[in-house]
Structure 1
Amino acid sequence: MEHKSIAFSVQDLTVSYGEQTALKNIKFQVEEGNLVGVIGPNGAGKSTLMKASLGLIPKDHGTIEFYGKPVKQMRENIAYIPQRNNIDWDFPITVLDTVVLGTYPKLGVFHRPKKADRKRAQACLEQVGLQKFSKRQIGELSGGQQQRVFLARALAQQTDIFFFDEPFVGIDASSEETIIRILKKLRDEGKTVIVIHHDLSKAEEYFDDLVLINQELIEAGPADLVLTPEVLGKAYKSQLPFLQSEGADE
């Protein structure tokens, strides 16, 4: 059996907001070439986990590594797409220029994108089916189209690790199908993709592995082993009757 490298490792991660503990001693690993969903109830700390892992917010303690290195040494090799409500859609920038921004991390300081970088951005727009919108202002697009533009920007970064925070919230079914198809293609190319996700009904179809948290780690492993009433009940305590009735209909 082929041995895979550990692309992303979280050890004893604890994060607090003032006196409130958001995450406590979270510990799991993700092998390279996996498509992984991070699930849990509202307020479980999913976005906090992602932001703390990427060094975007401070942590109380814990060790985060990407291929055995700290995030500051690997930043150029990581693409991060935040939640859509954290993005200024009124910013006067075109769709193509938004995607071109994905080439900046590898350009270095004081270097402007070359013709080849813009060509790569166009190719990434084609992958997400939005090449004909390249001259539109980003705010003119629908929610699903905007999410696909930011996926194209991530593709333009040419990284090995991708983080997406709730990419399927508030988008149309066609955009969701396009995005998950591309995420699976990235996985098949050996990339590592971590996605915060809320729709349990599609979790097994979409992801190889799942990380279930509710401030603490509940379970991490293959999707079919995490998505059992017993395991889910530990995280979604108040919703357990709903989960059991869902399973009874299958």
Structure 2
Amino acid sequence: MLEIENLNLTLGNKHVLQNVNLSIPINGEIIGIMGPNGAGKSSLIKSLIGEFKSTGKAQLNGDPIQNDLKSITYIPQKAHIDLDFPINVEHVVMSGAYKDIGWFKWVNSETKKRLNQLMDTLELKDLRHRQISELSGGQLQRVLVARALMTDSILYLLDEPFVGIDFHSEQIIMSQLRILKESGKLLLIVHHDLSKTDEYFDRVILLNRNIRYFGDSTTAMKPEHLNNTFISAPSQHETA
């Protein structure tokens, strides 16, 4: 269970997140986080992993999230990746296993098998020796997803994974995310394309500093909920 209680975040003089409350079971679900620019969508994810210092309570299966970060995988926006760092595709993907096996440890056959499976599934085999600075947006995003899947987590947090990538890469990535869902994982995905809501998400969090709606993805797209999120001032949490 992911439980968030009275989470508040202030950055500078701006109250970015206001009294966010959520309770989400971990039983195989893909949930979209949607709202206008500046609504606090990415900030919510960064607050959960401790990148931003928020107040309130955030727990994963009854323990503070900060005590169980190994159970969480975070995939940042690819725009935040240092493309000047001299590293190739294979090494980036392999780095995803280090939180399990440790740095500078011998890579066992099981880890190598997982690496090769992901490189194949995400269509990266022909790119394995290419520097990340040479990749297209879609290729780089597939690399980041492959790195994330090198370790087994129960909660996956993805920040705008489909921005600036080609349709083929988007479909490859989405197929992998659905496999995670089928294995019982919880995925929270910051997303902006309202047209993909029904296709991609089981439920949707509509956020604009606070929770405007949390529930069924089809119901989330009703005009009253969208207007309350994208037009109205902060309101009380509404669920369905």
- Could you tell me how far 1:162 is from its partner in structure 2? 0.8
1:88 to 82, 97, 105: 82
Secondary structure of 1:156 counterpart: coil
Alignment-derived partner of residue 47 in structure 1: 42
Secondary structure of 1:42 counterpart: coil
Alignment-derived partner of residue 192 in structure 2: 198
2:217 to 215, 223, 227: 223
Equivalent pair of 1:212/1:218 in contact (CA under 8 Å)? yes
Partner deviation per Cα, 1:174-215 (whole Å, 9 max, x = no partner): 011111111111101111111000000111110001011100
2:122 to 120, 123, 128: 128
Secondary structure of 2:70 counterpart: helix
Equivalent pair of 1:96/1:122 in contact (CA under 8 Å)? no
TM (norm. structure 2) is 0.92
State how far apart, in whole Å, the 2-side matches of 1:221 and 1:29 are: 11
State how far apart, in whole Å, the 1-side matches of 2:118 and 2:94 are: 10
Q: What percent identity do the matched residue pairs reach?
A: 38
Q: How many residues align?
A: 231
2:170 to 176, 180, 184: 176
- Could you tell me how far 1:112 is from its partner in structure 2? 4.5
2:155 to 140, 146, 161: 161
State how far apart, in whole Å, the 1-side matches of 2:130 and 2:207 are: 39
Long gaps (5+) in structure 1: 1-5, 239-250
- Could you tell me how far 1:109 is from its partner in structure 2? 5.7
Alignment-derived partner of residue 25 in structure 2: 31
Tell me if 1:64 matches 2:58: yes
Equivalent pair of 1:95/1:136 in contact (CA under 8 Å)? yes
Change (3 A) 1:173 1:122: same
State how far apart, in whole Å, the 2-side matches of 1:143 and 1:109 are: 28
Alignment-derived partner of residue 143 in structure 2: 149
What's the Cα RMSD here?
1.4
1:210 to 204, 213, 219: 204
State how far apart, in whole Å, the 2-side matches of 1:121 and 1:110 are: 17
Tell me if 1:19 matches 2:13: yes
Partner deviation per Cα, 1:110-162 (whole Å, 9 max, x = no partner): 53534442332222121211122111111111100100011000110121211
